[in-house]
Amino acid sequence: MKRFGWAWFAASSMLLRSLMGPAAAETRPQYGGTLRIAMLESPGSLDPSDATQPDSLARRNLLGLIFETLVTVDERGRVQPALAVDWQAASGKQRWQFRLRRGVKFHDGSGLTAEIAASALRTANPSWKVFAEGESVIVEMDRADADFPAELALPHNSMVKRMGNGKLSGTGPFHIEDWQAGKKLTLGAEENQWRGRAFVDRIEVEMGRNFHDQLVELDLGRADLIEVPPETGPRVATEGRRVSASQPMELVALVFSGEAQSAEEKLLRRALAHSVERASMRGAVLQGAGQAAASILPNWISGFGFAFAGAANLELARREREQVRSAPNLTVGYDANDSLARVLAERVALNARDAGISLQTTTAAKSDLRLARIALPSADPWVALRGVAEALGVALPRTSGTSVEELYAAERGLLAGQRVIPLFHLPAEWAASNALQDWSPAADGGWRLEDVWLGKVAMGKSRP
C-alpha cells in the first residue's frame, strides 16, 4: 500500500461523499433543528475529571460538546490555541505559562478566570503544581516535558466550573439542558459561545442502545448519527447508508495481567505473539476493517508502525513453545458484552493451540491475559503512547525528547516488556442520516458537531 493513512482517510471521505450523492456542500449552513444521536455507551457522569469513568471516544466526544481545554491537538498532531491564546515554557520546559483568552464565558454567564482554570487543572491532576498569575495559568513540574501542551488537550483537563448544586458548567458550544445519567443527554446551543453559536439548536443523545437498535432508529428517521462497529461498516455502507470513519484510534491487543516472571514465561509469550494470524483474522472477523498491527501506535500517527514485525510464524511459535518445559494452561478474558472481542479471543485461542499453547477463553474478571480494546487518547504520539502505557498499568519512562527516534525507542521499550501483544488498530465509524450536513469527523474521531447542520432529507441538485 503506497499511500497509507492520509490517502486512506481521504479515500474514506470520498466514499462518504459518493454515498451521499450530490451533496449539498455548496449550500451555506442553516441554523436550527435537533440533532439526534444514538450510542452504545452509558456514561454515568459528565465530569471530565471523573477517573472512575472508562475513557472512550464516545465519552470524549460528548465532553467535547460541553467543555473545552486550554489547547487542542489538530488532525496533524499540532497543538493549537483554544481557551489559551498562547503559551511559553521556562526553566527547561519544567514551567509552563498559558495565557487565557479574554471574554470567554461559562454557560452560567460567569467569565473564565485564571483562578478557575487553575482550580480545574488541580482537580483533574492533584499532583500538579498549578496556580494563577494575572491572566495566565502556570503549571510547574518536577521534570521537563516538551510535550506538555498536548497533554493539556486531553478531555480530563477541560475547564470546568463546579456549581454549588453539584452541577457543572463548561465553555463549549453546547450547554446541558437535561441529563439522565447513562440514559439520555439533551444539550442546547450556547448562543454566545466564543467560537460562534453552533448551527443546530439542540442535540439529543440516547445512550445504551445496541448497534442493531441504532441502525433501526437511523433507518426509521429517529436518529441522525449512530455508531457502526468497524466490522460491519462495509455492509452498512453497501446497503446505501452514509458511513464515515476516523483514522485508526483504537488499539486491540492482548494484555497480560503481570510481568513475565521467568525466561520460560517470556518465551511462551513470544510464542503466543508469533502464533497470532492477524491477516486472516482481519479478513474473516473484521471484514477487512482496520489494520493488523504489531505496534502500539498506528502507523498514521507514528510513521513507523510497520517497522514492528507482526506476521504470524507458526513454525517459530512451535519451536519457541517446545523450549518451554512446563507451560501452564492460560486463560484469555474478554468483555462478555463485546461480540467482536469474543470472536477475536476465540481466534487467538485457536491460533495458540495450533502452536501447542493451551489457551482458554473466559469472561471471568480474572484471567492470565485479556483481549483489551484501548482508545488512543490523542493524535499526539507521545500523549497516545503514555495513555496506552497508563491503560496497561506500565510506566513509560518520561523523556524530554521529541524526535521520532526517541519515540520509536520508547514504544520499542514498552513492547519489550512483553506485557502487550498488539493485534489491530481500528477506526471509529458512524452512519449518518441524509439530513446531517457538513458531517465530517476528524481524523482522530472528533465529532465536530458544532459545525454540522440539518438540511431537509431530500438530496440532489435541487435545493433543499
Partner 1 sequence: MAKVMRQALDSACFLNTNRRRIGPGGENGTFSRQPAGRRCYLFVVALFLLCLPRLAVAGSWNSPAQALAQKIVTVTGPGAVAITVENRSSLSKKDADAIGGLLRVELESLGVRPVPPQQAAASVAVWLSENPRAYVWVAEIRAGTAEPSVVMVELPRAEDGGFLRESAAESIRKIALWAQEERILDVLVLEEQTAPTQIAVLDGEKVAIYRMKNGKWAQEQNLAISHTRPWPRDLRGRILGAQDHLFDVYLPGVFCRSTPSLPLALSCRESDDPWPLVAPDRGGYSPAGRGAAVPPLGAFYSASRNFFTGALTPGLGKMTNAGKFYSAAPLPRESYVLWLFAETGGEIHLVDGVTEQAEKLGWGSDVASVRTACGANWQVLATGTGDGNEENGGDSVRAYEVADRDPAAVSAALNLSGEITALWTDAKGDSAIAVVRNRESGEYEAFRLGVVCSQ
Residues that bind partner 1 (CB under 8 A): 1-7, 10, 13-14, 17-18, 22-31, 75-78, 103, 191-199, 299-304, 306-307, 379, 381, 403-405, 408, 443, 450-451, 460-464
Q: What minimum distance in Å lies between the beta carbon of 430 and partner 1?
A: 18
Count of residues in the chain? 464
Q: Residue 179 or 304: which CB sits closer to partner 1?
A: 304
Q: Residue 208 or 417: which CB sits closer to partner 1?
A: 417
The two beta strands, 225-228 and 184-189, are unpaired
Residue 435 DSSP one-character state: T
Other Cβ atoms less than 10 A from the Cβ of 438: the count is 16
Q: What minimum distance in Å lies between the beta carbon of 19 and partner 1?
A: 11
Q: Residue 102 or 222: which CB sits closer to partner 1?
A: 102
Q: What minimum distance in Å lies between the beta carbon of 81 and partner 1?
A: 12
Q: Residue 435 or 443: which CB sits closer to partner 1?
A: 443
SS (H, E, C) 184-199: EEEEEECCCCCCCCCC
Q: Residue 22 or 288: which CB sits closer to partner 1?
A: 22
Nearest-angstrom CA–CA distance, 176 and 196:
17
Q: What minimum distance in Å lies between the beta carbon of 361 and partner 1?
A: 33
Nearest-angstrom CA–CA distance, 21 and 434:
10
Q: Where are the beta strands (DSSP E) in 310-458?
A: 330-333, 359-362, 369-375, 420-426, 429-432, 436-437, 453-454
* CA dihedral sign of residues 279, 445, 128, 86: positive
Nearest-angstrom CA–CA distance, 265 and 321:
10
Q: Residue 49 or 434: which CB sits closer to partner 1?
A: 434
SS3 for 423? strand
Q: Residue 333 or 445: which CB sits closer to partner 1?
A: 445
Q: Residue 10 or 284: which CB sits closer to partner 1?
A: 10
Q: Are 259 and 420 in contact (CB under 8 A)?
A: no
Q: What minimum distance in Å lies between the beta carbon of 108 and partner 1?
A: 17
Closest CA to 309 of 259, 256, 251, 270: 270
Q: What minimum distance in Å lies between the beta carbon of 72 and partner 1?
A: 14
Q: What minimum distance in Å lies between the beta carbon of 258 and partner 1?
A: 25
> 253: which 3 cell numbers?
491487543
Q: Are 146 and 93 in contact (CB under 8 A)?
A: yes
Q: What minimum distance in Å lies between the beta carbon of 198 and partner 1?
A: 7
Residue 329 DSSP one-character state: P
Q: Residue 22 or 54: which CB sits closer to partner 1?
A: 22
Q: What minimum distance in Å lies between the beta carbon of 292 and partner 1?
A: 15
SS3 for 350? helix
Nearest-angstrom CA–CA distance, 156 and 63:
9
Q: Are 46 and 62 in contact (CB under 8 A)?
A: yes
Burial of 171 (0-12, 13-18, 19+ CB in 10 A): buried
